[in-house]
A and B are shown apart, each in its own frame.
Chain A
Amino acid sequence: SQQGEEDPQALSIQEGENATMNCSYKTSINNLQWYRQNSGRGLVHLILIRSNEREKHSGRLRVTLDTSKKSSSLLITASRAADTASYFCATDIPGEKLVFGKGMKLTVNP
């Protein structure tokens, strides 16, 4: 089955900087979602963007979706140490369950 691919696989930044993560996928989707996972715990839903949407905001999060390129980006502005986590994109594919990408590890240094 299809799997989103996050890029980069790991990112280390300083507190206050912006972090951008990219996700590419292969087939048509209903929507694309981003999740955060802290240190091997459960995943927390961050934001969902539908296939007919191009951009969405939630607090310090900004998600874009380009269905022609089959890619999405997650921007975290003014990062904080508490944003340190692994981030996963998940694609909601017609007729299938959510498919998660491999994840990207973000480290925000104080």
Chain B
Amino acid sequence: SAVISQKPSRDICQRGTSLTIQCQVDSQVTMMFWYRQQPGQSLTLIATANQGSEATYESGFVIDKFPISRPNLTFSTLTVSNMSPEDSSIYLCSGGMNTEAFFGQGTRLTVV
């Protein structure tokens, strides 16, 4: 199994600013993902974080808005750029080993 630490756990940000969320895994995982979850909704995959190369984004998500880094197999960051109230959500980091996904505790973002 893997333990995923995500920070910050929550933040309140002003519109127009950016927030970087960090995700640290205690062991090497093959895949790392970033999700967004609106209140009471399912998880929407933002992108797959690729080690040492550009992330692979899902439809509706772009690098300029959600730049992602993954410098090694155990660490990744997601930046939410130029935030607006519509970006208020829970952001979740996930690491995959074989077929099982492990999740961080999430970052609850409120944009005012």
Contacts and interface: CB of A to CB of B under 8 A. Distances in A.
A33 B100 contact: yes
Interface string B33-74: 100010101110100100000000000000000000000000
B45 A42 contact: no
B106 A102 contact: no
Interface in B51-99: 90, 92, 94, 96, 99
A41 B106 contact: yes
A101 B37 CA distance: 12
Nearest to B6: A42
B4 A42 contact: yes
* Band of interface residues on A: 20 to 34
Interface in A64-110: 88, 90, 92, 97-98, 100-103
A83 B93 CA distance: 23
A48 B90 contact: no
Given A41-B106, A43-B92, A100 B43 contact: yes
A45 interface: yes
A52 interface: no
A48 B48 contact: no
Contact of B106 (A42, A88, A100): A42
* Band of interface residues on B: 20 to 34
Contacts of B6: 42
Given A33-B100, A45-B100, A48-B100, A97 B92 contact: no
Q: Could you tell me the dominant secondary structure of chain A's interface residues? A: strand
A56 B74 CA distance: 31
B19 interface: no
A43 B41 CA distance: 13
Contacts of B104: 42
A102 B99 contact: no
Interface of B: 4, 6, 31, 33, 37, 39, 41-43, 45, 48, 90, 92, 94, 96, 99-106, 108
9 contacts: A3-B42, A33-B101, A35-B103, A40-B106, A41-B106, A42-B4, A43-B92, A44-B103, A45-B100
